[in-house]
Amino acid sequence: LNSIQGKSALVLGGSRGIGAAVARRLAAGGASVAITYVQGAAAADAVVDDIVKAGGRAIAVQADSASDAAIESAVAKTREAFGGFDILVNNAGVLAIAPIEDFSTEDLDRTLAVNVRAAVIASRAAARVMGQGGRIIHIGSTNADRMPFAGGAVYAMSKSALQGLTQGLARDLGPKGITVNVVQPGPVDTDMNPANGPMAANLVPMLAVGRYGRPEEVASFVAYLAGPEAANITGASLMIDGGFAA
Ligand code: NDP
């Protein structure tokens, strides 16, 4: 069976949206779960409370993914709390949309820091402490492969960068029994991209299934990749996008 019982997981950006669903799903599978957040302490505490009430183990750590030290501290706190480190889900991400003529340098730097640089720092910290059966799962985007609207060039670039990182890390870590993959969602109903929000009218017609994805659907896929039955999947960019890129 694809059991993650007793594993120790860290979900970067786990207080809301896809990350919160991933944290709840991993905990439901028996993993101990640490989540990070930046501003949403109450939301993070609510995720932890739900997991603990259901009989699981969870902690919340304030850690801005733009800070190397904060990420490294979150990895250390996960190990201290749970006595191991098996699963990293690098989910924290930011979305800035603007025509390139108006795209601010601040948004460029923030996107690269949170969506790209943090993926490398977190993977490095995880690789130093993970053993056989370890899992690194990045949350990318279908926009790495298809960018069908204007204003998303920097976001798409940040998610394409995860593909190269994933392929290279798979080569580094395969011999240690650690897999590395990037899960690429299509539009998913979250605060970042609500199904009744301003982007939905353009996006829904591009979806083969005719609807937004749900955070729980991405979480289920991540939980599968985190388990032992997914040991032969590595270096892969894996769509879960309702046919957005089809
Ligand atoms: P949300 O904006 O709904 O939630 C983001 C989560 O990440 C929150 O828990 C937030 O915490 C946390 N977070 C944000 N910035 C940071 C940071 N710098 N450091 C640590 N935590 C941070 O996003 P989604 O759930 O929609 O997206 C999650 C991931 O999925 C992102 O990488 C996104 O690019 C990707 N994605 C989303 C899609 C969608 O349609 N929703 C489609 C494809 C990919 P806090 O509340 O404290 O800010």
CATH code of 92's domain? 3.40.50.720
Residue with tokens 């993977």: 123
Quote the pLDDT of residue 35.
99
Alpha carbon distance 134, 226 (integer Å): 8
Give a yes or no: residue 246 inside a domain. Answer: no
Q: Could you give the ipTM of this predicted complex?
A: 0.99
Give a yes or no: residue 1 inside a domain. Answer: no
pLDDT digits (tens, 9 = 90+) for 204-230: 999 999 999 999 999 999 999 999 999
Give the mean model confidence (pLDDT) for residues 45-70. 98
Our mutation pick for probing the ligand 1 site, out of 18, 64, 116, 218, counting the most ligand atoms within 8 A of Cβ, is 18
- Percent of residues, the chain, with pLDDT higher than 70: 100
Q: Could you list the residue range(s) of the whole structural domain that residue 161 is in?
A: 8-240
Alpha carbon distance 123, 213 (integer Å): 27
Looking at ligand 1, which residue's alpha carbon is closest to its atom 2?
Answer: 192
Three-state DSSP at 57 gives coil
Quote the pLDDT of residue 49.
98
Give a yes or no: residue 3 inside a domain. Answer: no
Ligand 1 center from residue 199 Cα (angstroms): 16
Quote the pLDDT of residue 190.
98
* Ligand 1 neighbours (beta carbon < 6 A): 12-19, 36-40, 43, 64-66, 91-95, 114, 139, 141, 185, 187-188, 190-193
Q: Is 37 known to be catalytic? A: no
Quote the pLDDT of residue 208.
98
Number of domains in the chain: 1
From residue 47, how far is each of 18, 141, 170, 173, 232 by CA, in Å?
12, 24, 31, 31, 31
Give a yes or no: residue 192 inside a domain. Answer: yes
Give a yes or no: residue 2 inside a domain. Answer: no
Catalytic residue among 37, 155, 212, 224: 155
Ligand 1 center from residue 13 Cα (angstroms): 6
Quote the pLDDT of residue 66.
98
pLDDT digits (tens, 9 = 90+) for 23-32: 999 999 999 9
Give a yes or no: residue 217 inside a domain. Answer: yes
Give a yes or no: residue 98 inside a domain. Answer: yes
Ligand 1 center from residue 100 Cα (angstroms): 22
pLDDT band at 81 (very low <50, low <70, confident <90, very high): very high
pTM: 0.99
Per the prediction, the chain carries an average pLDDT of 98
Give a yes or no: residue 179 inside a domain. Answer: yes
pLDDT digits (tens, 9 = 90+) for 136-146: 999 999 999 99
Side-chain-side CA neighbours of residue 124 (13 Å)? 11
